[in-house]
Structure 1
Amino acid sequence: MRIALLTEGGYPYATGDSRLWCDRLVRGLAQHEFDVYALSRSADQEARGRLPLPPHVRLVRTAPLWAPQDDGRTYGRRERRRFAGHFRELAAAICAQEDESAGDRFAAGLYGLAELAAEHGGLYAALRSEVAVRALEAACRAPGANRAVQAAKVPDYLAFADLLERALRPLSLDWYDDRSLGAVDLCHAASGGSAALPGLLGKRFFGVPLLVTEYGVQLRARYLAEGGTGRSAPVRALLAAFHGKLAAEVYDRATLITPGNTHARRWQERCGADRAKLRTVYPGMESERFAGLGEGGDGGDPGTLVWVGRVEPAKDLVSLLHAFAEVRKAEPRARLRIVHNPYGQSAVAAGYLAHCQALAAQLFPDEAADAHAVGDNPVSFEEIGGPEVPDLVDAYAAGSVVVLSSVVEGFPVSLVEAMFCGRATVSTDVGAVVEIIGGTGLVVPPRNPRALADACVALMRDTERRERLGAAARARALELFTVEQNLAAFRGIYLELISHCPVRREPVGADGEPLLFAHPAEAHVPGSWARGASGPGWADAASASQRVGAGAGTGPGERDV
């Protein structure tokens, strides 16, 4: 089977959100061939290089979303009219209030632009042209337009046109022919949004089924990120409307959607995903790395709390520090170790870390002379890979209770790692936390330092309870969140999709002429014609029809399952 893996800002680059689980997926399903189609987010990401790829990755095609991609083509009068008509449909759907026709108009405009780009190119210049800006202005001022976009001015139209061109850049790529996405049996998008756009076109142009996996809902992430961009309110409203319509179209056209947890599943349902298409598949994580600690029975220092993760405002370390001040009143010898990964730290994260270090010095003035010290300082800020924490496992080994204090969370990776280590946990009730914990840890409301402190003190004082919760947490993690269960789920999903949605291609011989009788007659019988039948003839015929439907034959680019 030949799989096209579609990514944005992740695999096969060495940095990015999806690189780890995509790499495990590709290596774990070595019986299939993989083509990787990757969209990069920055020059820095490309400069950091790629992960080493296994031999069954046939090809890697990449395209940047950050650099100008002008092909130098311009439209004649007929093409300009086509572009103006399709773009008006798209802009009207983006600016309009929600109604039943908006989704159809968005799809008509989107696919019309894609067909125009495939035939003539030139979409880069057209999306930044005066025609596009005037169409945006007319859509924002049209009767029934969303009130949030009616106040848009010319600078807002120009800013949104630039952002829209970047988001629609996958429409102009040269990935849509019989040697690229037209030659695969399945498109697997590693996220929604722009990464799924090539999959939408692969399904529209070639009938290739589309599988969408979201471990963190792309639409939700974009909504959260927009708050700190400094863009005007009309531009933020236009972007939110565009990405909302795109998410709805992706969910509508996808053959199957695999959210990583129930929290993501609820978001997808709210954005229009059909429940019948949704199937939860938990991310797979390597448990062997933590086996020594989890099976060794070492409970760690009972007086030490551990926090592990990326330092950023959403993690709410401020509430954690205030909660620890309350913990120190009940347990004067308690310590808090904040362990973070400095790799790829943004300027915002660095500023937030400095703020938290200053707050720790303010809350513990007599003991925090050195914010980086580990000795007698009750709060320490340590880096993974540093002298105090040479490996991630050492961070979890340092204490008996692992704390998560986030106000926003998708799938909490650090929480699952703590569970693999057999640690008792105290977490805030955000994202998929309750689903992940499943009764094996304590959960408190977010932004409530007093509740967080009380839960930590309760576990620090009860050794038997800590051990019982830690053992239950490890058993739950090994059952639900291992690489093996993730691979088993996708192995079955791939075969199911290929058998139910085979790609029908016209087989041709070496001379380019169609091959007569390449498809057996029974392959065209509607319904499950092999179900309930018996005998080797029926089984052989069913197997043959599936091989043909999945692309078996003598034509170029075709593969047996």
Structure 2
Amino acid sequence: MMRICIIAEGSYPYVTGGVSSWIHDIITSMPEHEFVIFTIAAQEKQKGKFKYTLPANVVEVRETFLDTYLLENGRWGKRFKLNKEQKDNLKRLLGEQGEIDWKVLFSLLRNTQFNQVSDFLASKDFFDVLEELCQERYPLVPFTEMFWTVRSMILPLFLTIREQLPQADLYHSASTGYAGIIGAVAKEVYKKPFLLTEHGIYSREREEEIIKADWVKGYFKDMWIQYFYRLSNCSYEHADWVTTLFSRNRDIQIEIGCDSDKIELIPNGVNVQKYIELDQKKPDHLIYIGAVIRVVPIKDIKSMIQSFALIKEEVPNAMFYIMGSFEEDENYYQECLQLVNALQVKDVNFTGTIQTLDYIGKMDVLMLTSISEGQPLAILEGMAASKPFVSTNVGSCKELLEGLEDNIGPAGIVTPVMHYELMAQAVIKLCQNGKLRKEMGRNALTRVSKYYRQEDVIVNYRRLYLELGGDSNGRDRLRAEKALS
């Protein structure tokens, strides 16, 4: 038996579906191991509000909230006597050229000479570092703006680095970002192996958000974007092994800076047997269109609603079900409701959190309109239920629906991101052609049964846990096996 620490950010156990489902399945499928959950969430109001019943082999949940920095009031003007190496690495974190020595930064920030992070960020030393950085790289940016921007940017990171870490035999992070930093710190502190899994490319997703964000002024956007890329590089550098879902993700990881020799492809999977003989009862005269999806901006629910408004004009008997939690971003959910009212479109139903198996069998067509994805479990679940999909061309969605020269045939229709007119046309085509829906549904089930099986996912991660956590030479053996394959 091993003790494995799963590190999750913005997902398990507060959010259902996607990465959370993947984590839950791994834990429940490996009762022979104990698991500690180190979970990072945005707001302390989420504390204890778990969406999952935790399996018996979860022995501890360590909760961390990024907004706790709002409660800190540092003592202004102290001096902690930073040396040149510490100052240089701080400046590199904030945009200066050069490689970051993360061991130096971790040691500095976990130092007990200051009681809280805000003491350090209010110190004369930090002012000196920031002043030098402004003079060298940002001479036209007002110092006050720079100070408060940098403070808000790095405070959550510094707080995360100072967290008390649970001891484990292996640390497994489900993303880069803050979760990846925790894995890197744990490796430095406890000298234990660190496994990193990326579903979507975290740094690219943050880049897309920052480019569109109104709250980041133009001249700070590059600083924020490069900051998140530096966090990803820290995770890649410290990870003993990196898994990702499909080849394009691997290419991006290598491009960003991950060593190709330690990347392994392990696609997501689904338990197809669970989707056999689902309840399909619904009124015969209605067409059910559905989306198993969280109501958050990156899923682009607004394009979905605009698309359905056009669909409804051509398919008046269509009903639309948006099946997923909407508590994560209440403001965005309200904006979606306002859009439904503004378009005066009827029969749009927000179900909230559901049991997917209770609903998915009734659907005629499924949709996904995300701006960014990895390898969506929602699509795999729909394919296992023999449902045709209309999806944006993000992540591996095209690969899932069209295959990689597998001679199976299409399982859906792929459209450009945010092009709701083309999405509508694709859904209308499927709504009006029952034969095509059945054909694509059969193709979907064939492909997922052959290439995306949940049992293969568990076999692969069980192997990695034993290789990395059970043997100090596990990483070298994995590299050797990979070179021979």
TM-score under structure 2 length normalisation: 0.82
Q: Tell me the residue number matched to 2:144.
A: 154
- When residues 339 and 306 of structure 1 are mapped into structure 2, their CA distance, relative to the original with a 3 A threshold, is same
- When residues 38 and 392 of structure 1 are mapped into structure 2, their CA distance, relative to the original with a 3 A threshold, is closer
Q: Tell me the residue number matched to 1:341.
A: 324
Equivalent positions of 1:418-433 (< 5 A) are: 418-433=382-397
Amino acid at match of 1:420: A
- Aligned partners of 1:118, 1:201: CA distance in 2, in Å? 16
Preserved CA contact (<8 Å) 1:313 1:352: no
What's the C-alpha RMSD, in Å, of the aligned pairs? Answer: 3.8
Q: Does 1:488 align with 2:429?
A: no
Preserved CA contact (<8 Å) 2:77 2:122: no
- When residues 54 and 417 of structure 1 are mapped into structure 2, their CA distance, relative to the original with a 3 A threshold, is closer
Q: CA deviation at 1:230?
A: 1.0
- Aligned partners of 2:186, 2:300: CA distance in 1, in Å? 42
Preserved CA contact (<8 Å) 2:76 2:123: no
User: SS state of the match for residue 212, structure 1?
Assistant: strand
Preserved CA contact (<8 Å) 2:243 2:264: yes
Amino acid at match of 1:94: L
Q: Tell me the residue number matched to 2:373.
A: 409
Amino acid at match of 2:290: V
Find the partner of 1:464 among 410, 435, 440.
435
Preserved CA contact (<8 Å) 2:233 2:258: yes
Q: Does 1:110 align with 2:105?
A: yes
Preserved CA contact (<8 Å) 1:83 1:113: no
Amino acid at match of 1:446: V
- Aligned partners of 1:300, 1:15: CA distance in 2, in Å? 31
Q: Tell me the residue number matched to 1:139.
A: 133
Equivalent residue pairs, number: 468
Preserved CA contact (<8 Å) 2:78 2:123: no
- Aligned partners of 1:117, 1:291: CA distance in 2, in Å? 56
Q: Give percent identity, aligned residues only.
A: 22
- Aligned partners of 1:163, 1:311: CA distance in 2, in Å? 25
Equivalent positions of 1:188-227 (< 5 A) are: 188-226=172-210, 227=212
- When residues 495 and 459 of structure 1 are mapped into structure 2, their CA distance, relative to the original with a 3 A threshold, is same
- Aligned partners of 1:130, 1:76: CA distance in 2, in Å? 6
Q: In the TM superposition, what whole-angstrom CA distance separates every residue of 1:237-296 from its partner, at most 9, and x where no partner exists?
A: 3322222112112112211111233443343222111222111223344545532239x7
Preserved CA contact (<8 Å) 1:305 1:337: yes
Q: CA deviation at 1:322?
A: 5.4
Preserved CA contact (<8 Å) 2:387 2:444: yes
Task: Identify the range of structure 1 (195-204 vs 282-291) with the bigger mean alpha-carbon deviation.
Answer: 282-291
- When residues 51 and 423 of structure 1 are mapped into structure 2, their CA distance, relative to the original with a 3 A threshold, is closer
Q: Does 1:22 align with 2:16?
A: no
Q: CA deviation at 1:467?
A: 1.4
User: SS state of the match for residue 37, structure 2?
Assistant: strand
Equivalent positions of 1:251-262 (< 5 A) are: 251-262=236-247
- Aligned partners of 1:307, 1:58: CA distance in 2, in Å? 34
- Aligned partners of 2:64, 2:315: CA distance in 1, in Å? 55
Preserved CA contact (<8 Å) 1:94 1:106: no
Preserved CA contact (<8 Å) 1:384 1:392: no
- Aligned partners of 1:465, 1:527: CA distance in 2, in Å? 48
Q: Tell me the residue number matched to 2:406.
A: none
Amino acid at match of 1:423: K
- Aligned partners of 1:356, 1:109: CA distance in 2, in Å? 50
Q: Does 1:354 align with 2:337?
A: yes
- Aligned partners of 1:470, 1:164: CA distance in 2, in Å? 47
Q: CA deviation at 1:300?
A: 7.4
Preserved CA contact (<8 Å) 1:187 1:199: yes
Q: In the TM superposition, what whole-angstrom CA distance separates every residue of 1:199-241 from its partner, at most 9, and x where no partner exists?
A: 2123234431110112233223322333336133344333222
Q: Tell me the residue number matched to 2:261.
A: 276
Amino acid at match of 2:228: H
Amino acid at match of 2:207: Y
- Aligned partners of 1:470, 1:484: CA distance in 2, in Å? 22
Q: Tell me the residue number matched to 1:310.
A: 294
Q: Tell me the residue number matched to 1:476.
A: 447
Preserved CA contact (<8 Å) 2:35 2:57: yes
- Aligned partners of 1:317, 1:4: CA distance in 2, in Å? 33
Preserved CA contact (<8 Å) 2:74 2:117: no
- Aligned partners of 1:342, 1:315: CA distance in 2, in Å? 12
- Aligned partners of 1:276, 1:452: CA distance in 2, in Å? 39
Preserved CA contact (<8 Å) 1:323 1:452: yes
Q: Does 1:384 align with 2:369?
A: no
Q: Tell me the residue number matched to 1:553.
A: none
- Aligned partners of 2:19, 2:150: CA distance in 1, in Å? 27
Amino acid at match of 1:382: N
Q: Does 1:96 align with 2:127?
A: no
Amino acid at match of 1:384: T
- Aligned partners of 1:191, 1:223: CA distance in 2, in Å? 15
User: SS state of the match for residue 293, structure 1?
Assistant: coil
- When residues 187 and 309 of structure 1 are mapped into structure 2, their CA distance, relative to the original with a 3 A threshold, is closer
Q: Tell me the residue number matched to 2:124.
A: 130
- Aligned partners of 1:157, 1:16: CA distance in 2, in Å? 38
- Aligned partners of 2:436, 2:375: CA distance in 1, in Å? 25
Q: Does 1:233 align with 2:210?
A: no
Q: CA deviation at 1:188?
A: 0.9
Q: Which ranges in structure 2 are unaligned for 5 or more consecutive residues? A: 404-409
- Aligned partners of 1:425, 1:50: CA distance in 2, in Å? 27
TM-score under structure 1 length normalisation: 0.72
Q: Tell me the residue number matched to 2:82.
A: 82
- When residues 120 and 451 of structure 1 are mapped into structure 2, their CA distance, relative to the original with a 3 A threshold, is closer
Q: CA deviation at 1:66?
A: 1.9
Task: Identify the range of structure 1 (346-355 vs 489-498) with the bigger mean alpha-carbon deviation.
Answer: 346-355
Q: CA deviation at 1:344?
A: 0.9
- When residues 277 and 340 of structure 1 are mapped into structure 2, their CA distance, relative to the original with a 3 A threshold, is same
Q: Does 1:2 align with 2:26?
A: no
Q: CA deviation at 1:91?
A: 1.5
- Aligned partners of 1:327, 1:72: CA distance in 2, in Å? 55
- When residues 233 and 87 of structure 1 are mapped into structure 2, their CA distance, relative to the original with a 3 A threshold, is farther
- Aligned partners of 2:272, 2:305: CA distance in 1, in Å? 30
Q: In the TM superposition, what whole-angstrom CA distance separates every residue of 1:415-439 from its partner, at most 9, and x where no partner exists?
A: 2222121112222222221122223
Q: In the TM superposition, what whole-angstrom CA distance separates every residue of 1:355-383 from its partner, at most 9, and x where no partner exists?
A: 4313432xxxxxx5xx4xxxxxxxx1113
